[in-house]
């Protein structure tokens, strides 16, 4: 009876190990020859949950090796305790099936503007919404993100040239003209997890805004926006997990 129980615990433990190993290799495109320890080390720099449980996962790797490689005859020299297996299964569930970002964000009122909107309209939109990043649409497609900094730069250049900033200027200059080269945004589909979203911000330090669309690209409506402030909240949620 004890042998059957131990075999069941060992089987569950090995399945957890294999699930984490496969998931992280696929997510972060880690080479096939990398050891499990390398997989965890690489992933911990990109994944807050892996980083949180890094020591546990490395300990489990050593136990797995003892179970698989260091047996005496048909007997394993180590067997996982039921509490260890349950904790490993809990960690695997969090890493492999973390909450979707949309579940945490809920329904958002996404504020956008058109490339043809005037600079005066944009200033009013930013003032009323208190959003610094406004996605810009053109013919139903997102063509960029207008940041309040873009407006400051446009006004600064005009002042430098000693040109007037008056009502006529605000009514005749359009969003598309002050958009500039802005690479601080990206797209993801609405099913992205809080872990994957946080990882994108960790990988690209210049990323300021992540727009979630049904198709994960610029060709469909923005359903939600993730900013660095949201990522802080996501990390706090992940840190709260036992």
Q: Report yes or no: 201 and 232 within 8 Å, Cβ to Cβ.
A: no
Neighbours of 99 (CB within 10 A): 14
pLDDT tens figures, 176-215: 888 877 778 999 999 999 988 998 898 888 898 999 999 9
Q: What is the mean pLDDT of residues 216-224?
A: 91
C-alpha span between 36 and 38 (Å, rounded): 5
Topology given in CATH for the domain delimited by 103-239: CBS-domain (3.10.580)
Question: What is the C-alpha radius of gyration for the chain, rounded to an integer number of angstroms?
Answer: 25
Round the average pLDDT of the chain to a whole number and report it: 87
C-alpha span between 148 and 155 (Å, rounded): 11
Kindly list the domain boundaries of the chain, sorted by start residue: 2-97, 103-239
C-alpha span between 18 and 39 (Å, rounded): 12
């Amino acid at each position: 009876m004890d042998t059957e129980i131990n075999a069941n615990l060992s089987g569950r433990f090995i399945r957890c190990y294999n699930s984490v190993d496969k998931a992280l290799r696929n997510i972060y495109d880690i080479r096939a020859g990398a050891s499990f320890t390398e997989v965890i080390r690489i992933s911990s720099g990109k994944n807050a949950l892996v980083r949180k449980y890094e020591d546990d996962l490395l300990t489990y790797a050593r136990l797995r090796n003892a179970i698989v490689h260091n047996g005496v005859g048909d007997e394993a020299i180590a067997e996982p305790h039921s509490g260890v297996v349950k904790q490993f299964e809990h960690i695997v569930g969090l890493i492999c099936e973390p909450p979707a970002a949309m579940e945490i964000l809920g329904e958002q009122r996404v504020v956008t503007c058109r490339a043809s909107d005037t600079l005066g309209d944009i200033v009013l939109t930013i003032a009323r919404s208190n959003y610094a990043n406004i996605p810009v649409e053109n013919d139903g497609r997102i063509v960029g993100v207008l940041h309040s900094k873009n407006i400051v730069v446009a006004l600064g250049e005009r002042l430098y040239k000693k040109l007037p900033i008056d009502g006529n200027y605000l009514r005749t200059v359009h969003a598309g003209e002050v958009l500039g080269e802005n690479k601080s945004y990206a797209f993801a589909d609405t099913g992205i997890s809080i872990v994957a979203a946080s990882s994108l911000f960790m990988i690209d330090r210049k990323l300021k805004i992540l727009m979630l669309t049904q198709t994960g690209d610029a060709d469909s409506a923005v359903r939600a926006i993730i900013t660095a402030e949201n990522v802080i909240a996501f990390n706090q949620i992940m840190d709260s997990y036992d």
